Amino acid sequence: MKVHRYGERLDKCSKLMEEAELDALLLTKPANMFYLTGDGRLCAFSMITKDGKVALGVPKTDVEDVKQHAHFDQIAGFENEVGMIHSIAHYFEHFGIKKGAVGLEHTFLTRSMMDMLTHPHAKPEEVAIKDCTPVMSELRIIKDNEEIGYIRKAAKVSEEGMKAAVRAITPGITESQVAAEAEYAMRQAGAEEFWRSYVSSGERTNIAHGLPSHRKLKQGDLVMIDIHPVVNGYSADICRTVSVGKPTKEQQDAYDLYLKAQQSTIAKVKAGTGVGELEKVLHGVLEDAGHEEHIFGPPIHGVGIEFEEAPLPPGHAFFHGEKEPKPLGSNTVIAVGNCGLYTGNFGVRVEDTVVVTEKGHEVLTGYPRQLE
Amino acid sequence: MKVHRYGERLDKCSKLMEEAELDALLLTKPANMFYLTGDGRLCAFSMITKDGKVALGVPKTDVEDVKQHAHFDQIAGFENEVGMIHSIAHYFEHFGIKKGAVGLEHTFLTRSMMDMLTHPHAKPEEVAIKDCTPVMSELRIIKDNEEIGYIRKAAKVSEEGMKAAVRAITPGITESQVAAEAEYAMRQAGAEEFWRSYVSSGERTNIAHGLPSHRKLKQGDLVMIDIHPVVNGYSADICRTVSVGKPTKEQQDAYDLYLKAQQSTIAKVKAGTGVGELEKVLHGVLEDAGHEEHIFGPPIHGVGIEFEEAPLPPGHAFFHGEKEPKPLGSNTVIAVGNCGLYTGNFGVRVEDTVVVTEKGHEVLTGYPRQLE
């Protein structure tokens, strides 16, 4: 299948590979393969040469299916891991890559997988290894209009999920059952997939990653719901905090403060602004109100094929291998409100998916922001 | 919190660490931390010394929550990644570990995370790194009765999910909507989580990892449903293939053959049998019927905290860093039917979660095995 968009992306990729002194990319991360070839699946690889040639390796069962979706010059079906290694070796040979450097995804590959892909039976000894995360981030960070369209669709689906979750909130229901409502509604509304849902309640809203548990909602609890549907391969990210019954003054004050912090940050989003700058705005509002000790984690990240992708904030450097990102470009999509205000007894958080534009921004997730 | 089970597990861990010449484990994989400490969460670490001391590092927001669940001697809350690194360095110092070796999870850690955990500000230079995957696999492979009880519960929940999915099957519904029914039912039946669901239909049943898509079911399709709920931290694994309307003779014959292969394999499950042996039984039935070319992937793996864990079959060695597993011990739990018969036009597969016993086995997933 030949689609114009992949040609353009591969041209841009070639330029970035040239700058990074890479002779090939050996990708296994589905999101990266999907971006450059139109097909990203588990247990597969894409080799991309610096002149834009694409060679795929997939399970032998999947060859016909991939042919229907993917942009490629060559495709090989393998039987097992040994076959996968041999396909890689074959492509290195076919493209005449005997030295130079190959880019691998250091922020995705486990150590074991890396050992496999760089096994002497796969990679020529004199070909060096470099991390290609920065190349892939740079490629994917600015979305084209088709991509923005898909993220917009995902944002609409996320609103349907949030509506269903909030409607279900009542004392006695478990966090897992709240997640069930959101997920069911998102699939019905057109999501083919979703990233792991977060639903926490009561004192559990204070933890950093509130995955759903068997805890039953009680009158007076706050409930934090964070969901991320995938539509046509693209994600959205939304979080809302709501109360079970009437919130206390302490809960309402904390919520109002966080919402103010988040909304003032969104107000500053515009092409040319830095992620670090935005982070300072959000944290500044919380700090000015005496909550310096109640902040944890980076509040802003990119959204696209993945619900968390570049630009990733400074301070998240080790996990993601990212440098301090450049000022935001137009048509970058970000989530604002990734981390909350954690008072100790409870946490509050509101997160939205936002497109950066030349003149400012557009918020894609419009679901009402109200605690009660 | 002091619970007897963790003391026993840590004692066994100490012996294995001694044999593997490891002075400490530095774990970040939630499943491994959960097994040894009762708490496994994202963005956290556990350091385990060879005399069974447990030191935890968690986001500062999570300290109180972890204290309620975990077995530990020391706990530190960190602010960010730099704080995490410093906590690790502090624990190495505190335990007096200046040389020797620390075990890391090579089958879980990305290259970037590994760089972070072994950063000179985290790990003393003279402490070597080894892969502790074999230690953790050996520890977790034999389940105690409490664990079997949880897996049994998860198996019951998986049956509820399968029932809901199969009931929903009708022309016009999407694969994603079938997944929605299974997932919703599993959360209602008591799952706090589930691993990614696989639902594929029509020609898509032929692919190795059939994640749900927007494809609408049609009369005459086969539908493959593979689901994995988590209950109290433990998983089950079930797959069924069903037809939309009346199956063709070709579909029914392939299904009957695969079911025969799977059931003959289960019949051989008993303490002392090898995974390789079982794989041969399953593949043998398919090969004898002339389907040698229609086999892909390892048909058997372990089930426990993860829906895919040790024992992992030989041939999956690179991805998982596993050696050929020992003969199966009593109270190991396995899934039989992880990979199917892929005819080219369609695939068929039936998978069940099975406990290995001294005298034979017990099948935990009893949902009916019938195509129509």
B205-241 residue pLDDT tens: 999 999 999 999 999 999 999 999 999 999 999 999 9
pLDDT of residue B159: 98
- What residues in B contact A206, CB-CB < 8 Å? 61-62, 64-65
Domain boundaries, chain A: 4-140, 142-363
Say if B365 is an interface residue toward chain A (CB within 8 Å): no
Between helix A175-188 and helix A145-168 the angle, nearest 10°, is 140
- What residues in A contact B62, CB-CB < 8 Å? 206-208
ipTM score assigned to the predicted complex: 0.96
- Among candidate residues A155, A286, A163, A175, the one with its CA nearest the CA of residue A228: A155
* Residue A367 neighbours by CB under 8 Å, 6+ apart: A158, A159, A162, A163, A238, A240
pLDDT of residue A335: 98
Distance CA B171, CA B245 (A): 9
- What residues in A contact B193, CB-CB < 8 Å? 176, 196, 211-212
pLDDT band at A181 (very low <50, low <70, confident <90, very high): very high
pLDDT of residue B234: 98
Quick one: closest CA in A to B189, which residue? A177
Q: Is the pLDDT of residue B302 over 80?
A: yes
Which amino acid appears at position A231 of this protein? V
Say if A192 is an interface residue toward chain B (CB within 8 Å): yes
Q: Is the pLDDT of residue A276 over 70?
A: yes
Fold topology of A142-363: Creatine Amidinohydrolase (3.90.230)
Q: Is the pLDDT of residue A317 over 90?
A: no
pLDDT of residue B112: 87
pLDDT band at A322 (very low <50, low <70, confident <90, very high): low
- What residues in B contact A316, CB-CB < 8 Å? 81
Q: Is the pLDDT of residue B320 over 70?
A: no
How much of chain A exceeds pLDDT 90, in percent? 91
Say if A106 is an interface residue toward chain B (CB within 8 Å): yes
Chain position carrying tokens 């496994």:
B40
Copy the structure tokens of residue A170.
């009542």
Please report, for residues A238, B171, B179, B183, the alpha-carbon distance to residue B176 in angstroms, rounded to integers and kept in the order given. 21, 13, 5, 10
8 Å CB contact of B114 and A111: yes
pLDDT of residue B313: 64
pLDDT of residue A326: 87
- What residues in B contact A43, CB-CB < 8 Å? 208-209
- Return the number of other C-beta atoms located less than 10 Å from residue A172's C-beta: 10
How much of chain B exceeds pLDDT 90, in percent? 92
Strand B24-27 relative to strand B45-49: parallel, antiparallel, unpaired? antiparallel
The DSSP element (H or E) to which A261 belongs, if any, is helix A249-268
Mean pLDDT computed over A130-153: 96
Q: Is the pLDDT of residue A355 over 80?
A: yes
The alpha-carbon radius of gyration of chain B (Å, integer) is: 22
Say if B131 is an interface residue toward chain A (CB within 8 Å): yes
**Do residues B195 and B154 lie in contact, with contact meaning Cβ atoms separated by under 8 Å?**
no
Mean pLDDT computed over A125-139: 96
Distance CA B208, CA A83 (A): 15
pLDDT of residue B326: 87
Interface size between A and B, measured as CB pairs under 8 A: 184
Q: Is the pLDDT of residue B2 over 60?
A: no
8 Å CB contact of A180 and B187: yes
Q: Is the pLDDT of residue B199 over 60?
A: yes
Which amino acid appears at position A355 of this protein? V
pLDDT of residue A93: 98
pTM here is 0.97
Pick B324 or B105 by higher pLDDT: B105
pLDDT band at B303 (very low <50, low <70, confident <90, very high): very high
Q: How far is B358 from chain A (nearest CA, A)?
A: 32
CATH class, B145-363 region: alpha beta
Fold topology of B4-140: Creatine Amidinohydrolase; Chain A, domain 1 (3.40.350)
Pick A266 or B317 by higher pLDDT: A266
Q: Is the pLDDT of residue B188 over 90?
A: yes
- What residues in A contact B316, CB-CB < 8 Å? 81
Mean pLDDT computed over B108-114: 91
pLDDT band at A313 (very low <50, low <70, confident <90, very high): low
Q: Is the pLDDT of residue A3 over 80?
A: no
Say if B192 is an interface residue toward chain A (CB within 8 Å): yes
Q: Is the pLDDT of residue A192 over 70?
A: yes
Say if A318 is an interface residue toward chain B (CB within 8 Å): yes
Say if B42 is an interface residue toward chain A (CB within 8 Å): yes
Q: Is the pLDDT of residue B20 over 60?
A: yes
Q: Is the pLDDT of residue B6 over 80?
A: yes
pLDDT of residue A314: 54
Say if A205 is an interface residue toward chain B (CB within 8 Å): no
Say if A260 is an interface residue toward chain B (CB within 8 Å): no
DSSP string, B134-202: HHHHHHHSS--HHHHHHHHHHHHHHHHHHHHHHHH--TT-BHHHHHHHHHHHHHHTT-SEEEEEEEEEG
pLDDT of residue A1: 52
Mean pLDDT computed over A352-360: 98
Pick A272 or B319 by higher pLDDT: A272
- Among candidate residues A227, A230, A253, the one with its CA nearest the CA of residue A240: A227
Q: Quick one: A73 exposed, middle or buried, by C-beta within 10 A (0-12, 13-18, 19+)?
A: exposed
Q: What is the mean pLDDT of chain A?
A: 95
Mean pLDDT computed over B252-277: 97
For chain B, the first-to-last Cα distance in angstroms comes to 50
Q: Which of residues 208 through 227 in chain A touch B, CB cutoff 8 A?
A: 208-209, 211-214
